Amino acid sequence: MVEKSIGLKICTHLCLVIGIIILLLPIYFAWVASTHSVKDLLVAPIPLTPGHQFLHNYYTVLTQGSEGGGSDPVIFMLRNSLIMALGIALGKIIISMISAYAIVYFAFPFRKLFFWLIFSTLMLPVQVRIVPTFQVVASLNLLNTYSGLILPLIASATATFLFRQFFMTIPTELIDAAKMDGAGPMRFFVDVLLPLSKTNIAALFVIMFIYGWNQYLWPLVATTSDQMNTIVMGMQKLTLAVDQIPEWNLIMATAILALLPPVLVMLIMQRWFVKGLLEVEK
């Protein structure tokens, strides 16, 4: 029999709890700092427990950015991030799903070529094509637009593979039945495939939402106007301002606001997230 002693059990839980505390320490300290006044964070040691400035700090960053101005209200950055994340997540899902549908259910010339083109995007993450992609987007006049933020990131080989894999498991009888009922290809897609793909869509949505929200390099180069700042890249203006004393309380409040949406989406949709992550990579 495998050991089932109480001692081992307690030890396992203890190790997990200690490990998780260490793992989440950075988030805890960010939260603590975000509830103090800037004065409390000027000299070491910083406080280890939450203070009383929670409402004040979060109100300040949301409505005016930093205390002395110089930064934009975080609420606008949150809006931009939300638009970008949703645009990327939904865009990837839609274009991948319809192209996977075409590739699986139709025989047409150049199908293989299209498939390999989509496959090639797997090997071209935005980081390696950053300069020329910037040039393309600039020449299309898409800098400082939502389209410019979203479009260069929404081709997705992984999402296309996932849908393709899934469509291939759907029994042919279903198609025959649909055909018998006189359903055309689009009817079949909307009435049969779409409802069947719900879990896959949910799983991809969580992963792609996190991916989109957390983009940093691309928004950094594709936007120059402050109105287009996303929260993840807008952070750096606060952090990298060298000429002034860092307002760590406000920086940390912004950081908490920046990490909350993707964390919440992940926790709420945890089941789909795990499924998606494990399947996308297979």
Q: Give the whole-angstrom CA distance, residue 35 versus residue 17.
A: 25
CB 14 to other proteins: min, Å: 10
Contact set for other proteins, span 71-100 (CB under 8 A)? 94-96, 98-99
The window from 54-62, 64-72, 160-168, 196-204 that contacts other proteins (CB under 8 A) reads: 160-168
The window from 49-57, 60-68, 149-157, 195-203 that contacts other proteins (CB under 8 A) reads: 149-157
Rg (CA), the chain: 24
Check residue 228 for interaction with other proteins (CB under 8 A).
Answer: no
Q: Give the whole-angstrom CA distance, residue 134 versus residue 36.
A: 40
Structure tokens at 224: 């120059």
* Buried b / exposed e along 98-121 (16+ C-beta atoms within 10 A): ebbbebbeeeeeeeeeebeebeee
Check residue 29 for interaction with other proteins (CB under 8 A).
Answer: yes
Q: Give the whole-angstrom CA distance, residue 253 versus residue 60.
A: 9
CB 69 to other proteins: min, Å: 20
Check residue 177 for interaction with other proteins (CB under 8 A).
Answer: no
CB 227 to other proteins: min, Å: 20
Check residue 241 for interaction with other proteins (CB under 8 A).
Answer: no
CA dihedral 130, 134, 137, 143 (to 10 degrees): 120
Which position among 58, 163, 248, 272 is part of the footprint of other proteins (CB under 8 A)? 248
Check residue 274 for interaction with other proteins (CB under 8 A).
Answer: yes
